[in-house]
Amino acid sequence: MKDIMGMMKAASEMKGKMEAMQAELAELVVEGNSAAGMVRVSLSGKGEMRGLKIDPSLVKADEVDVLEDLVIAAYNDARGKSEAEMQRKMSEVTAGLPIPPGMKFPF
């Protein structure tokens, strides 16, 4: 019975930590780039695009396809960094808890 109470307390503490971490992630901004920084995308920790910067030298009517590919690459770079940061923070919150392998948070 003592183990159940301990688990309940740990779960309650983890819930509070997760809520705080989610608020922190909402404020986090990561930047991805492509073409040596000529295209930059900023995302929140939750993956929402916050900004887009395109070097004016890239904007040529006959190269729109290239520009579109560069924006996609910059977005994917920023999204990957955002997801890595979220996983790092989640591992800090759940450290020491007996969580089954492969279980992802938030539920």
CA-to-CA distance for 53 and 16, rounded, in angstroms?
A: 36
Residue 99 lies in a domain: no
pLDDT tier, 50 (very low <50, low <70, confident <90, very high otherwise): confident
Count of domains forming the chain: 1
Q: Which domain holds residue 20?
A: 2-93
Residue 106 lies in a domain: no
Residue 28 lies in a domain: yes
**Residue 101, pLDDT above cutoff 80:** no
Q: What is the average per-residue pLDDT within 26-49? A: 86
Burial class of 40 by CB neighbour count within 10 A (0 to 12, 13 to 18, 19+): buried
**Residue 6, pLDDT above cutoff 70:** yes
Residue 67 lies in a domain: yes
Residue 105 lies in a domain: no
Residue 107 lies in a domain: no
pTM (2 decimals)? Answer: 0.54
Q: What is the average per-residue pLDDT within 8-30? A: 82
Residue 60 lies in a domain: yes
Residue 103 lies in a domain: no
Count of CB atoms situated within 10 Å of the CB of 73: 16
Q: What is the average per-residue pLDDT within 14-38? A: 85
- In the predicted model, what is the mean pLDDT of the chain? 80
Count of CB atoms situated within 10 Å of the CB of 69: 14
